[in-house]
Structure 1
C-alpha cells in the first residue's frame, strides 16, 4: 500500500472554507477489493481503477475536496479521483527505483473520500483498520 496523495483538513488563508478528507492509495490487486468494500460499507465515496490510465484517455472522476468562499460562491481549489497515468506515477515517484515504479503500474488506485465536507474521522478510521488487517 502506498499513499499517492492525501488532503488533511486544514484552514485556508483566513477565508471561510470547507474540506472533506481524501486519500489516493495504490494497493495490490489482491487486497484492493477489501479496501473498496470496507470504504463502501462505511458510506464513503470510493473511486477504484484497476490499472493506470492509458495515454490520451479521459482522466476519469473528479470529486471536489477543498473550497473557499469568494463573495457569493464557492471556489474549488483541490479535487481527488482523477485516474493516474503511468506518466503521473513516474512524475510523483521519480526518486524511486525503476523496479518500484513498475510495481506501481500493476497497483490498483483506490481513492477514498468523506461523503461530505467537515470534520470526520471515518476515512482515517477505515484506512487504519484496513491497514491493520492487511499488514
Structure 2
C-alpha cells in the first residue's frame, strides 16, 4: 500500500527551489506530469495529475518543455453521472515568456477557431474567466481570468525569487474549445505547434553546424571576412605574385603568393644554405606595402633582388569617383 505523506518530500522541494527561470519550471512540470517528480509546488503533496488528464500528459509535457508552462487543463466531455449532466470544454492555461512560441500558439489557435485569452501584468480584454464546465446547465468552472501577483504566488509558492520574477512577467495564455464535448481540436493544435518546434531544434543545430563550416572555409579563403561589421566600409585584400612586372597569379592570402615566388626561385637553383638565405623585404612599413624576395649571402653585405614581388591589392565594393577631373 502506497503511503502519501502530507508534505512534499525534501527531494521534490529541492527540485522546485532549484528552478531559476520559467523554462526551468516547465521542465519540472513535465517531469511531474510524467510521474518522475511526486509533488508539484502549489498542489496537494504526493499527488499527480487528475485521472481525466492521463491522455493529455504527452502533449502537456511537450508544451511545458517547449516553453508553455501550464498550470491548469481539462479535456472536453459531455456525460451524465449520478443523474446529473456534466459538460466541459477542453481548455488549458499557462505562462509564456518565449514571444516566438506565443505568436505561433496564438496564430494556430485563431486559425483553428479556438477561444484565445491573453493577459500581461495587467488584465487583457477578458478580465473575467470564461465558463468551461457546467452541471445541469449551471456554471461550475471558469478559465482565462487574470491572475494577480497574489494568485500567482498561490500557484507557485516556494520557488526562487528569480523564477517567480519570470512568472509575474510572463504572458498568461488560455486556449479554450468553443463547443462543449469531447472535441480534440485544442490538443491537436497544441501538439502540432510544440512538436514542430521540437523537431525544428535538430534541424536548426544541423544548419548552424553547416553555416559554421562555411564561415570557417570563408575565413581560410579571405582572412578577416567573417569579422566584417554591417554598415561599415569594407575592404578585402588579394595578393598578386609577379616577376619583373609580369603577373604570375592572384591569391587570397600572402603566404600562398610568397610560396609561388619562392618555389620559382628554388627551381632556378637558388636555395637557402649555410651561407645564403632568402627573405621578403617590404617597400615600407605599411601593412599593404609590396615586398620583394631577396637573396642574402654568402657575404654579410651581399643582397640580390630576385624580381619576385608580392603586392597586396585592395578590392573595393563600389567604384570610388575622384573628387576632381572625372566625369560623373
Deviation (angstroms), 1:52: 2.5
Q: Which residue of 1 aligns with 2:173?
A: 110
CA RMSD, aligned part only? 2.3
Whether the 8 Å CA contact 1:59–1:84 is kept in 2: the answer is no
TM-score by length of 2: 0.36
Say whether residues 1:27 and 2:90 are aligned partners: no
Divergent runs of 4+, >4 A: 10-13
Q: Secondary structure at the match of 1:99?
A: helix
Identify the structure with the greater strand proportion: 1
Q: Distance in 1 between matches of 2:197 and 2:162?
A: 23
What per-residue deviation string (whole Å, max 9, x for no partner) do you get for residues 46-103 of structure 1? 0112x2237xxx970321111011xxxx111101110111211111010322221111
Equivalent residue for 1:75, pick from 131, 134, 138: 138
Computing the radius of gyration from Cα coordinates, the structure with the larger value is 2
Q: Distance in 2 between matches of 1:42 and 1:60?
A: 23
Q: Which residue of 1 aligns with 2:157?
A: 94
Whether the 8 Å CA contact 1:61–1:82 is kept in 2: the answer is yes
Q: Secondary structure at the match of 1:61?
A: coil
Q: Distance in 2 between matches of 1:131 and 1:95?
A: 28
Whether the 8 Å CA contact 2:74–2:90 is kept in 1: the answer is yes
Compared CA separation, residues 33 and 7, structure 1 to 2 (3 A)? same
Say whether residues 1:6 and 2:69 are aligned partners: no
Q: Secondary structure at the match of 1:103?
A: helix
Q: Distance in 2 between matches of 1:81 and 1:120?
A: 19
TM-score by length of 1: 0.83
Compared CA separation, residues 62 and 12, structure 1 to 2 (3 A)? farther
Q: Secondary structure at the match of 2:128?
A: strand
Gaps of 5+ in 2: 1-67, 199-328
Q: Secondary structure at the match of 1:3?
A: strand
Identify the structure with the greater helix proportion: 2
Q: Which residue of 2 aligns with 1:64?
A: 131
Task: Count the aligned residue pairs.
Answer: 128
Equivalent residue for 2:116, pick from 34, 38, 46: 46
Compared CA separation, residues 37 and 17, structure 1 to 2 (3 A)? same
Q: Distance in 1 between matches of 2:98 and 2:128?
A: 20
Higher relative contact order (CA 8 A, sep 6+): 1
Compared CA separation, residues 36 and 44, structure 1 to 2 (3 A)? same
Gaps of 5+ in 1: none
Compared CA separation, residues 124 and 22, structure 1 to 2 (3 A)? same
Q: Which residue of 2 aligns with 1:120?
A: 183
Whether the 8 Å CA contact 2:75–2:182 is kept in 1: the answer is no
